[in-house]
Amino acid sequence: MNIKAMRNIHLYLGCFFAPLLMLFLITGCWQTFDLHQASKEAGGYKPPEIIKSFSQVHMNQRWTSNNMRPEPSVIFRYLIILMSLGLLVTTVLGIVMAFKYTRPWRVWAFLFLGVFIPFFLLWMARGFK
């Protein structure tokens, strides 16, 4: 595959899936800190409805509002699979293009750091609560 074709595939897949990826990134961030769940303490934190609704899209592939809880959307789940495959393809193409446009040792160094640092942080957190 030539570089122009790779760039075009990378560009168009990225543009198509960018809004959905941003939704999952944002909702994933607030779920990391449990901002989508109410506090169990009396008078504690209660998340806004919009946060709870978008979290349902992320976690259960359904839009909820005003105590309405529809079944999960099977078609939306297939779109998420396509989004995941699109992200995988664009990521691989981005790495291939990085090797073509810069010094390979830099690409290898950042790929190594991208694997090492998350595992190191998880390993360091084992003793902390």
CA distances from 108 to 40, 56, 92, 99, 103 (A): 46, 38, 13, 9, 9
Chain-centroid distance, C-alpha 38 = 23
pLDDT recorded at residue 129: 60
Residue 42: the pLDDT is 80
Q: State residue 128's pLDDT score.
A: 67
pLDDT digits 0-9 by tens, 64-122: 877 777 888 999 999 999 999 999 999 999 999 999 999 999 999 999 999 999 999 99
Enclosing H/E stretch for 93: helix 74-101
pTM across the whole model: 0.76
d(CA 81, CA 17): 11
Arithmetic mean of pLDDT, 2-21: 91
Distance CA 90, CA 108 (A): 18
Q: What pLDDT does residue 1 have?
A: 78
Give residue 104's pLDDT: 95
Measure Cα distances from 2 to 8, 9, 79, 100, 127 in Å.
10, 11, 28, 11, 49
pLDDT of residue 69: 79
pLDDT tens, residue by residue, 16-56 = 999 999 999 999 999 999 989 888 888 889 999 899 889 98
Mean model confidence pLDDT for the chain: 90
